[in-house]
Amino acid sequence: MDSPAVSSIHFHNAHVLPEPDLFMHTPGGNRIPAHATILASASPVLENVIASNRVVKIHGVPDGAVTAFVAFLYSSRCTEEDMDKYGIHLLALSHVYSVPQLKQRCIKGLAQRLSTENVVDVLQLSRLCDAPDLYLKCVKLLRNRFKAVKETEGWKFLESHDPWLELDVLRLMGELEKRKRRVRKWREEERLYVQLSEAMECLEHICTEGCTEVGPYEVEVGRQKTPCSKFATCQGLQVLIRHLGTCNRKLKGGCLRCKRMWQLFRLHSSICLCQNSCKVPLCRPNSNS
């Protein structure tokens, strides 16, 4: 039986297309009339098949997926409805018949439709269809929702029938988690570096120009002074410096705030490039004068 869906496509283009010269046979026994030149131009695999046979049999997918596949070969379009219903099947067909434009459309569409229920099926197909980007997205979803996914029938089937893929997925999940921890550590180190860099700038500013509460002897400071651009950091340093000058526990080495301030002084001393002109306490040029 001829497919009515594709017949309508031919009817729409009847004024420019000749009569169909071959048939696509679906698993359900339907026949879809088509044009050899159009199929050959869209798929090198179909071009080779058509060269020796005017009947193309497609197996293993629903009839509707075959209809959507042929419609794409004619129009280079795939509706959202077809992607919802046949996305997985269309990815398989696009890979088998080497239709890269449809394959990219399916990869994008399936990635947007990934869920706990379908991720294992998409994962297996993405590996078979050489779609590494989609495969990685599946692994990321598995990592984020693994407790839910491992309760699905898809994951239980994978455990029983494809242990090598299961091991590969678990390995990738572990590598992604390690990478995530490395990125988190790197961002934390970067944040700490920025904070310390700003603290060094503010310490030099306080000891050279003075801020609202603390400054060198020759500089008048007070609340009326306009706060600097990094006042939040400067304010914290001023509190620590004022505490350092009045704390009695520092003599016994038991005050954490005093230790923090001494550490900042030592850090500044280790990176200061001034030559006998730095006013920050404990700076090496100062200590040698």
Q: Which domain holds residue 77?
A: 1-113
Which residue, among 38, 3, 33, has the nearest Cα to 21 in the 3D structure?
33
Q: Is the confidence at residue 190, as pLDDT, over 50?
A: yes
Evaluate whether residue 74 is within a structural domain.
Answer: yes
pLDDT exceeds 90 at position 78: yes
Look at residue 215 and give its three-state secondary structure: coil
34 belongs to a structural domain = yes
* Contact (CB, 8 A) for 93 and 58: yes
78: in domain: yes
pLDDT digits (tens, 9 = 90+) for 19-50: 888 999 999 999 999 999 999 999 999 999 99
Q: Is the pLDDT of residue 275 over 80?
A: no
pLDDT for 194 beyond 70: yes
pLDDT of residue 288: 44
**Residue 225 binned pLDDT confidence (cut-offs 50, 70, 90):** low
Q: Does the structure show a pLDDT above 50 at 166?
A: yes
Please indicate, yes or no, if residue 47 is contained in any of the structural domains: yes
Which pLDDT score, from 0 to 100, does residue 286 have? 46
Q: What is the pLDDT of residue 228?
A: 74
Between 161 and 80, whose confidence is greater? 80
CB 61, CB 89: distance < 8 Å:
yes
In a domain, 30, yes or no: yes
Higher pLDDT pick, 216 / 268? 268
Asked if residue 61 belongs to a domain, the reply is yes
Q: What is the mean pLDDT of residues 213-234?
A: 72
User: Rounded CA gap, 141 and 138, in Å?
Assistant: 5
Helix count and strand count (H, E) for the chain: 14, 3
- Does a structural domain hold residue 138? no
Q: Quick one: average pLDDT of 206-210?
A: 81
Residues contacting residue 123 through CB under 8 Å, at least 6 positions apart: 135, 138, 139, 142, 165, 169
Q: How confident is the model at residue 158 (pLDDT cuts 50, 70, 90)?
A: confident
Q: What are phi and psi of 213, to 5 degrees?
A: -125, -25
According to the model, what pLDDT value does residue 159 have?
73
Residue 277 predicted with pLDDT over 80: no
Average pLDDT for 66-81: 94
Tokens at residue 145, please?
A: 């929702």
State the pLDDT confidence band at 287, using cuts at 50, 70 and 90. Answer: very low
Q: Determine if the pTM surpasses 0.85.
A: no
Q: How big is the chain by its Cα radius of gyration, in Å?
A: 35
Which of residues 196 and 76 earns the better pLDDT score? Answer: 76
What rounded mean pLDDT belongs to the chain?
A: 81
Residue 214 included in any domain: no
7: domain CATH number? 3.30.710.10
Under a CB-based contact definition with an 8 Å cutoff, are residues 280 and 210 in contact? no
How many beta carbons lie within 10 A of that of residue 199, not counting itself? 19
Confidence of residue 12 (pLDDT cuts 50, 70, 90): very low
**Percent of the chain, pLDDT > 70?**
80
- Number of domains comprising the chain: 1
**Would you state the pLDDT for residue 177?**
65
